Amino acid sequence: MNGSISTFMLILQLDLLCLVHLRLSRHHFLGIHLVCLCLRKGRHTYQCEEREDYSGWPTNIVNIEIPSTRGVDAYPSVTDVAQANLSSMECGFPIQLSFSAREVSDGTLFKAIEDYDPDSKRLLYQLQKSYHSDPVLNPLTPWDRPPIKNVFCIYGIDLRTEVGYYFAPSGKPYPDNWIITDVIYEVEGSLYSRSGNLVEGNPGAASGDETVPYNSLALCKDWLGPKVNITRAPQPEHDGSDVQVELNVVHQDEVDIVPNMTRSPRVKYITYYEDSESIPGKRTAVWELDKANHRNIVRSPALMRELWLQMWHDINPNAKSKFVTKAKRGPLRNDDCYWDYGKARCAWPEYCEYRYVFGDVHLGQSCRLKNSLADTLSHYL
């Protein structure tokens, strides 16, 4: 279908009045988008209308089907649930509530399902005690830049990362009363369901590191100064021919900084966001490493090289800039030199030469740095 077909139904079930908006479109999740305006008599009012504002998140974090009864009878058998839904709701569509990131963090989710889940009151208590009552950090507002001189925020991007979930009653007693029926992933600027369907929402410019979503990782971009220099360079050693630079990019508060740069599909890059104009007395940098996994990023040779070069640059009295140059990256150790079988010589001839030492068992081991480490590092001041 090129367009969409909209149908409205009024459903009265116990003391729930729901306006269900069914929109059928090839762009919607599973072809069906449920929008409910649910009014509870006497206690709470829940709204889950269609919204494009997900509290700064790519999509609603929690989408939950609520059972038709409450308390100890809220979780009958799966067959009973299916029959109840079919008999009490037109077309058999269940009541679905959706909750944004804000509504999860402020406790709205747990208040909405407290009549259906016996653990909600305990979770609300823990949320209030451990987070809302924290005297130092407010979990409902973005965190300010740490009050230290230098901040380097480093993370991986563009891996498939979970950002939303669909829950339904399992038909089992507490604590196994809910099951995950689907998962929403962000993948390189798009949203997909577990079954592979494209999902509408507000995806970021990239995806997360397989554990933490991009919106959380990129928060530290807000800590950068009013103007930012952006550099994108290959992660491996390079001669500078594939380095892209944007200087003095204006940084708007609470707006993601997205460089206008190209990517080769076969190359993994590091994108550096570094202060051009810093907050007075501060220095901030954000490094994004393509395809770097959350748990394994500390094992990345490219990251270890960049950290080592930056620390060496910072302690060198002859350094001419705030950040180490990104113009090129040559071998820094003998182990970085290797034999180029296609050209029948050591790779990186500007830096490496063939120099056999007794005990070498293959050609690559005989490729060593031409110059001393001090001479090599002088190019990075």
Pairwise CA distance, residues 98 & 112, whole Å: 10
Looking at the DSSP bridge assignments, the partners of residue 272 are 231, 287
Helical H segments across the chain, by residue range: 78-88, 101-105, 108-112, 120-127, 214-217, 301-315, 373-377
User: What average pLDDT does the chain have?
Assistant: 81
Looking at the DSSP bridge assignments, the partners of residue 169 are 178
Are 212 and 155 within 8 A, CB to CB? yes
In angstroms, the first-to-last Cα distance of the chain is 59
Distant-in-sequence, close-in-space partners of 357: CB < 8 Å, separation ≥ 6: 365, 366, 368
- Taking residues 216-220, report their average pLDDT: 94
Query: Each residue of 236-295: pLDDT tens digit?
Result: 999 999 999 999 999 998 889 999 999 999 999 999 999 998 888 899 999 999 999 999
- Taking residues 171-190, report their average pLDDT: 91
Q: What is the pTM of this model?
A: 0.77
Pairwise CA distance, residues 155 & 272, whole Å: 11
User: What percent of the chain has a predicted confidence (pLDDT) above 90?
Assistant: 60
The token duo for 18 is: 């729901």
Query: Each residue of 284-303: pLDDT tens digit?
Result: 999 999 999 999 999 999 99
Q: How confident is the model at residue 142 (pLDDT cuts 50, 70, 90)?
A: confident
**136 has a pLDDT exceeding 60:** yes
Residue that has been written with the tokens 């901040």 in this structure: 151
Mean pLDDT check: name the lowest of 70-74, 78-82, 177-181, 356-360. Answer: 78-82
Mean pLDDT check: name the lowest of 10-14, 114-118, 128-132, 269-273. Answer: 10-14
Q: Counting beta carbons within 10 angstroms of the beta carbon of residue 204, is it exposed (0 to 12), middle (13 to 18) or buried (19 or more)? A: buried
Are 38 and 12 within 8 A, CB to CB? no
Q: At 353, phi and psi to the nearest 5?
A: -140, 160
Are 274 and 228 within 8 A, CB to CB? yes
Residue that has been written with the tokens 């220095």 in this structure: 283
Mean pLDDT check: name the lowest of 19-33, 152-166, 190-204, 240-254. Answer: 19-33
Query: Each residue of 17-56: pLDDT tens digit?
Result: 222 222 222 233 222 233 333 333 333 334 444 445 666 7
CA distances from 193 to 139, 163, 377 (A): 28, 10, 48
Pairwise CA distance, residues 243 & 235, whole Å: 11
Question: In which element (H, E) is residue 240 found?
Answer: none
Looking at the DSSP bridge assignments, the partners of residue 154 are 287
- Residue-range domain boundaries for the chain: 5-140+161-193, 330-381
Are 329 and 335 within 8 A, CB to CB? no
Q: What is the pLDDT of residue 381?
A: 78
Q: What is the pLDDT of residue 278?
A: 86
